[in-house]
Amino acid sequence: MKKQNTPAEIPEIRPGQSIELLKELHILTRDGKLNQDTRRKLKQVYHLYQFIEPLLADAQSLADHGAGKSYLGFILYDLFFKAKEAGHIYGIETRKELVEKSRELAARLGFERMSFLDITVEESTHSSALPEQIDVVTALHACNTATDDAIRFALTKHAKHIVLVPCCQAEVAAAMRAGKSAALAKTPLSELWRHPIHTRELGSHLSNVLRCLLLESHGYQVTVTELVGWEHSMKNELIIATKSAAKSGRPQQIARERAEAILREFNIEELAPRFTY
């Protein structure tokens, strides 16, 4: 009879990883094995972790917005915070049933420095359950304006690092669509979004450009890269922002001015309160 793999014999699993957690996340099957699909999922988890791990070196707190089942928080705690004496992860999610499940799993795993709050991003900004400063803020696949809410939270909490994977942006595209007639008369660049499919695609791209400029205007150094291969997801633009040690100055002013110019050029100046504060 062929000998079955045990978790210790699977080279992809790192020493000390919680086998129970990997099963709960459906990365390991219930009998402790990896198949082709779960091996790919584990590879994606490690791929994301390699971007976030360097940001945690000077971090004592992390808030994950739109946490869902808090898979990201659990992985970060298991791979990084579990071996540390300090450091706390906050999962913020509006669906109470998911928050309750996360609390139960954290208690079962002994992950004592994890908290889960069933509140909105806006509520979390002023919640006494969170410290005045959060070192790292993450928001993965936070739909539409939830990403912008997470950015505002991060700026309010003076975050050192911000990690975003935006998803399903519609607000900018809607504003572009509403002002399309005026834009067509104003500039030939409006041909870039004359057709509906182009409006949607350009609106999504423009949303992220404006978010990057907003972060730069607040003194962050911004990197934009690809999270995973395009074959896995079309929503995989990874934005990483790190607070610069330099004092405020001309570069921040230039970023703000460029954002304002883009809003004017695309005839969507009504969105200035979201992108140029």
pLDDT in tens, 171-209: 999 999 998 888 888 888 889 999 999 999 999 999 999
In a domain, 123, yes or no: yes
140 or 163, which is more confident: 163
In a domain, 50, yes or no: no
Degrees to nearest 5, angle at CA 238 with 167 and 116: 70
Number of domains in the chain: 1
- Pairwise CA distance, residues 206 & 172, whole Å: 8
Tokens of 229: 């291969």
Amino acid sitting at position 165: V
In a domain, 148, yes or no: yes
Per-residue CA distances from 39 to 2, 27, 50 (Å): 20, 7, 17
Q: What is residue 167's three-state secondary structure?
A: strand
In a domain, 37, yes or no: no
In a domain, 186, yes or no: yes
C-alpha neighbours within 13 Å on the C-beta side of residue 104: 8
pLDDT in tens, 29-54: 888 888 888 788 788 888 889 999 99
Alpha helix (H) residue ranges in the chain = 19-24, 36-52, 71-79, 96-109, 121-125, 146-156, 171-178, 180-186, 196-217, 250-265, 272-275
Q: What band does 7 get if pLDDT is binned at 50, 70 and 90?
A: low
In a domain, 48, yes or no: no
CATH number for the domain spanning 104: value is 3.40.50.150
Tokens of 138: 């993450």
- Out of 84-88, 154-158, 169-173, least confident range: 169-173
158: phi > 0 → left, psi -120 to 50 → alpha, else beta; which? left
- Pairwise CA distance, residues 184 & 194, whole Å: 8
* Whether residue 28 has pLDDT greater than 80: yes
Give the rounded percent of residues in the chain with a pLDDT score beyond 70.
93
* Whether residue 97 has pLDDT greater than 90: yes
* Whether residue 23 has pLDDT greater than 60: yes
Edge to edge, the sheet with strand 61-65 lists 114-117, 88-92, 61-65, 136-143, 161-167, 237-243, 220-226
Using the structure block, give the residue that is written with the tokens 């929503």.
Answer: 235
* Whether residue 27 has pLDDT greater than 80: yes
Task: Give the domain extent around 215.
Answer: 59-275
Per-residue CA distances from 1 to 4, 75 (Å): 9, 35
* Whether residue 61 has pLDDT greater than 60: yes
In a domain, 4, yes or no: no
* Whether residue 8 has pLDDT greater than 70: no
- Pairwise CA distance, residues 30 & 37, whole Å: 14
* Whether residue 224 has pLDDT greater than 70: yes
In a domain, 116, yes or no: yes
- Pairwise CA distance, residues 28 & 254, whole Å: 49
* Whether residue 127 has pLDDT greater than 90: yes
pTM (two decimals) = 0.90
